[in-house]
Every structure is written in structure tokens, then in C-alpha cells.
Amino acid sequence: MRKLELVAAAMLTVTALSAGWARAEEPARGLALELNRTAATDGGCLLTFVALNRSAEALDKAAYEFVLFNSDGLVDQMTVFDFGSLPAGKTVVRQFQLAGLACEAIGSILVNGAAGCGGASAAPPACTVSLETASRTAVPFMQ
């Protein structure tokens, strides 16, 4: 009887590992936004984002409401960044100028939600279903 229990436990372990591997091999979906660079300019802070639409659907519009926090964690301002159209499977770079705001004054940036998003299909668009954020700067970028 003990041998049968060991075989059953081994089969369950293999099944669980196989399921985990299958999930790991699934291609990522949705939209990935990366805060790639902040640069001080005469007019304020220039933010550079890299956006990757990993879905099979082109997006005619992808706009997000962002909340900028100061270094004390207080809300400094809320704004909408319109990333424009995002072709399916394509990486694009978008820049946004924050007039009168020094880059050093930005403590973190939060994606508060989609302010406008649309594609050709009636299914929920990629920018509202699964969004991933990352930052290559000292400014945390989160959702």
C-alpha cells in the first residue's frame, strides 16, 4: 500500500510541475509600459516611456490617468498621458513634458486607470485587461 501512495504523490507532483511550466510558456498578453528615462529640460521634466502592445489587437487609442507623487508621498498632480495608437505586437516610444516640474520632485508615478482605450473588437482592449509597469529610472512606476 505504501508503494501506491508514493507513486500517486509522484504523479501529483509531476502534474503540478507540468501545469506550472505550461503557464510559464504562455506568451505575455496585454500592454507593458516602462518609464525608461527622466530628463530635466528648461521647461520642466521630460518623461520617456516605452510601450509594448503584446496583444493580437491594434489599439486605436491608449490613454492613462497618471498620479504624480512628490518625494514625501503626497499627490502633486494628476494628468492624462495619451499614448496614441499602439499597433499589435509593436514597441513604441512616447515622450511627455511636465511643464514647470523638476524631475527630482517626482517621488513616484501611479497609473490610476485607463482614461481612454479602444480597438476594433468588442472584447475588452488590452490596455484595460492586463497592464504591466516597470521603471528603469530612480522613480518608481506602479499601478
Read off the CATH number of the domain in which 95 is found: 2.60.40
Pull the grid cell for residue 12: 501529483
Question: Domain for residue 112, yes or no?
Answer: yes
Radius of gyration of the chain (CA): 21
Q: What is the pLDDT of residues 106-131, one digit of tens each?
A: 999 999 999 988 766 645 566 767 89
Cβ contact 74:115 at 8 Å? no
Number of domains in the chain: 1
Mean pLDDT for each consecutive 10-residue tract of the chain (143 residues)?
50 46 58 97 97 90 96 97 94 97 97 84 64 96 96
What range does the domain containing 108 cover?
Answer: 31-142
